[in-house]
Amino acid sequence: MAAAARTRTGVDEGVGLTALMVAAARAIETHRSDALTRDDYAEHFVRAVPATADWPLHPRDVPDGEADPLWGRLGRYLALRTRALDDQLLWSAHLGARQVVLLGAGLDSRAFRLDWPPGLAVFELDRPEVLAFKQRVLDRLDARPTARRVPVAVDLRLDWADALTSAGFDPAESTAWLAEGLLRYLPGAAERRLVATLDRLSAATSTLAYEAVIGPEPAAVRDNPVYTAARERIGVDLLALFDADPRPDTAADLTARGWSTTAHTPFEFTRHYGRGPRPEPHDALAANRWVFATR
């Protein structure tokens, strides 16, 4: 959500390139023989942008495989995160959630690629230029969603509740909320407001999944090849995009509001699925937590 220069796509260069990086990682994963997740739309988003049209989209384009810090290790992390959050959303939907809200949806294609129960609505919240770019690509593919898809153009740093309810969201219905890779880009005050808003809009049994980071990263971690490779090879300075404010303790805030929360390291899911990154010295992934909450 950081301010940045515009590209020819109309997507902000900083967070927009980050969304395209995630899409490229999903495309590479899709072609793996042991894929954690499949996203047949991802490569089309990447190819639609001149600045990213030559990025790798297949494992054969990554000669060092998972040893490559960017398209190997970080890419596998992003695929693992996608799979874990896919499973969480589907679990919530099959337990009775009738609405899914993707906060900072970016180039997420879950409304198209997941097997949703009948009658479910997927609300995609993001900035208007991101949603417009995404829609142009999907229209060219004649893509058809597997649930009722409702794009909602908002700035999540500001008030967005009225736009969501005006789009047909029902606060009385159980909802599965997702903030995948969003909160680190928000100022701390905006994160607190976002949590207060979704709490106010959440009926009993609603769920929330989000990615958090514990503590400031020491210098040795900030020099990790994951960060340097992203900056030097594709122009994505992740450390500059992450908001520098002290992070709120959102899990504690949710607990105080009556939610139950559990936090997991990504490496727990590596063990669970039998695939994914494993810990390494001065690890750029070690401080990440995936938090699952239920009201």
pLDDT in tens, 19-63: 999 999 999 999 999 999 999 999 999 999 999 989 999 999 999
Output the pLDDT for position 245. 77
Output the pLDDT for position 162. 97
Output the pLDDT for position 190. 93
Decide the pairing of beta strands 175-179 and 207-213.
parallel
pLDDT tens by residue, 88-130: 999 999 999 999 999 999 999 999 999 999 999 999 999 999 9
Helix boundaries (H) for 37-155: 42-47, 75-94, 110-113, 128-140
Domain membership flag for residue 23: no
| Count of domains forming the chain | 1
- pTM beyond 0.85: the answer is yes
CA distance 92 to 259: 15
User: pLDDT of the chain along its 295 residues, tens only?
Assistant: 333 333 444 444 434 889 999 999 999 999 999 999 999 999 999 999 999 989 999 999 999 998 999 999 999 999 999 999 999 999 999 999 999 999 999 999 999 999 999 999 999 999 999 999 999 999 999 999 999 999 999 999 999 999 999 999 999 999 999 999 899 889 999 999 999 999 999 999 999 999 998 877 788 888 899 999 999 999 989 888 887 778 899 999 999 999 999 999 999 999 999 999 999 999 999 999 999 999 9
Domain membership flag for residue 45: no
CATH number where 102 lies: 3.40.50.150
CA distance 110 to 205: 21
Output the pLDDT for position 240. 85
How far from 137 is each of 48, 50, 126, 143, CA to CA, in Å? 7, 13, 16, 9
Domain membership flag for residue 80: yes
Determine the structural domain holding residue 268 and report its residue range: 73-225+243-294
Domain membership flag for residue 182: yes
| Token output for 57 | 């989209």
Domain membership flag for residue 178: yes
Pair 141, 172: CB distance under 8 Å: no
Domain membership flag for residue 270: yes
| Token output for 272 | 């669970």
Output the pLDDT for position 277. 93
Domain membership flag for residue 167: yes
Domain membership flag for residue 15: no
